A = this chain, B = another copy of it.
Amino acid sequence: MSKIITLREAALLVRPGDILALGGMTLYRRPVAFVRELLRQRVGELTLLELTGGFESDLLVGAGLVRRVRTCYFGLETFGLAPMFTRLAGSGGLEVIEETEATIAFGLRATLAGVGFMPGQGLLGTDILAVRPDIELVTCPYTKRQLVAFPALRPDVAVVHCQIADRNGNARLLGNKAIDRDIALTANRMVLTAERIVDSPADLGGEIDLLGARVTAVVEAPGGAKPTSCFPLYPLGSLEILDYVLACQREDFAGYLERFLGSD
C-alpha cells in the first residue's frame, strides 16, 4: 500500500474550511507546486496556519481561497509587503488572527503534549492580548507570576515540501526546519511533496526530520518549491518574486495568477 499519489489526488486531502498548515517559511522551501494545484481546484474558506506567510500564501489570499490567516509575519521579506495580504487585511476582506512566534511554537507544543495550553513569556503589556481575547492568562502556582496561557493549535492538514523522502514518508529537511516537524506531528492529515523519493530510509543518507508514520501521502514534485528556494538544490528566484510584486503593483494579480496556473 504505497503512499505515493499525484498532486491532484493529494490536493483532495484539503477540504473547504480546513486549517491548512504550510511548511517552510516565507520564501524558503514552500510547497508551491501543491499550492498551484489547490489554486486550480479552488479549495476555499481556508484558515492558513504558518510560521511566516510568503509568496504562495499571498497567491492563495489573492485568489480568495483564504478566509483567515494565523501567522506572526506575512510578507515578502526584502522584497517588501505581500501585496494581496496587505490589501485584503487592510480592507477587512481577510480575518487576521494575530500570532507571534510564541503563540505558534507553544501552541503546537501544547498539542504535542496532549494539553490545552503551554505557559510562556511574551505578550504581556502589549496590545496583542487586546486583539486576541481568546488568549487567557494563568498564574504560576509556584512563583505566583502571571503568564500567558498559549492555547493549543492543531492543523487539519499540513503540507511540507522536502528535499528527499522515502516511500513511507520518512523525510529529511535541509535548510530552515521552521515548524514543519511540529505541524507534521499534530495535523490530522499530512502531505509531503519531495524533490526526490527513494525506496527506504537507508537511502536518505542522514537522520530523518519527519516520521513516515505520521504522513498520509507522498508526492514526487521536483522543483516543487520554485520560485522559493530549496536549499541546497536551488536558490530563491529573486527575479520571479520581483515580477510578482510588480504585477500586483500594476493591478495585474489576475493576469499573474493565470500565467502562474498555466506554468508547471
Q: List 5 A-B contacts (CB under 8 A).
A: A113-B119, A113-B121, A115-B145, A116-B140, A118-B118
A78: CB under 8 A from chain B? no
Q: A142 to B149, alpha carbons, bound, how many Å? A: 9
Assembly stoichiometry (copies): 2
Main secondary structure, interface of A, reads: mixed
A141: CB under 8 A from chain B? yes
- The listed residue (B145, B149, B151, B152) touching A116 by CB distance below 8 A is B145
Seen from chain A, the residues whose Cβ lies within 8 Å of a Cβ on chain B are 106, 113-121, 136-138, 140-143, 145, 147, 149, 151-152
Contact status A142-B121, CB under 8 Å: no
Top 6 A-B pairs, shortest CB-CB distance: A136-B141, A116-B140, A116-B143, A116-B142, A114-B121, A141-B149
Query: 13 more A-B contacts (CB under 8 A) besides A113-B119, A117-B140, A138-B141?
Result: A113-B120, A113-B121, A114-B121, A115-B119, A115-B121, A116-B141, A116-B147, A117-B119, A117-B141, A118-B119, A136-B141, A136-B142, A141-B149
Chain B residues with CB below 8 A from A106, complex form: 113
Q: A143 to B149, alpha carbons, bound, how many Å? A: 12
Q: A149 to B145, alpha carbons, bound, how many Å? A: 14
Chain B residues with CB below 8 A from A118, complex form: 118-119
Chain B residues with CB below 8 A from A114, complex form: 120-121
A207 to chain B, nearest CB (A): 9
Q: Which residue of B lies closest to A114 (CB)?
A: B121
Contact status A117-B136, CB under 8 Å: no
Q: A61 to B149, alpha carbons, bound, how many Å? A: 40
A73 to chain B, nearest CB (A): 21
Q: A45 to B119, alpha carbons, bound, how many Å? A: 33
Chain B residues with CB below 8 A from A121, complex form: 113-115
Chain B residues with CB below 8 A from A141, complex form: 116-117, 136-138, 149
Chain B residues with CB below 8 A from A119, complex form: 113, 115, 117-119
Which of A119, A120, A151 is most buried by chain B, counting CB atoms within 10 A of its CB? A119
Q: Which residue of B lies closest to A144 (CB)?
A: B116
Q: Which residue of B lies closest to A120 (CB)?
A: B113
